[in-house]
Amino acid sequence: MADFIEDGAVCRVSGRLSQTEVLQLWSERSTLLSKGVQVIDLSALSYSDSAGVAFLLELVSLARADNRKLVLSSPSTQLLKLIGLYDLELFFREEAEQGR
């Protein structure tokens, strides 16, 4: 299961984010992050499948709908492969400039 740990403007995600976890987290998606979170740090995320990537993009979409900026940063090597496969580089940053 993925853990979302907030530290000011940064939320660090660790663990796994697969279809199973996304199904469990889906109902919490609009309240999972506080309004002050600007960066989701993915460096400790050990595994994600396409459902996990879709969930992360949904979090970004929800923030945008609320007129907030949310950046996905520091994807793991495994996640970088999915990002490249689905041509999603524009949604991810290697490192966050804010909140560090």
Model pLDDT, residue 94: 58
Query: What b/e string do you get for 8-18 counting C-beta neighbours within 10 Å, with b at 16 or more?
Result: eebbbbbeebb
Looking at this protein, which amino acid is placed at residue 36? Answer: G
Q: Does this model's pTM top 0.95? A: no
Task: Give the pLDDT confidence of 40-55 residue by residue, as tens digits.
Answer: 999 999 999 999 999 9
Residue 43, class by beta-carbon neighbours within 10 Å (0-12 exposed, 13-18 middle, 19+ buried)? middle
The Cα–Cα gap between 45 and 53 comes to 11
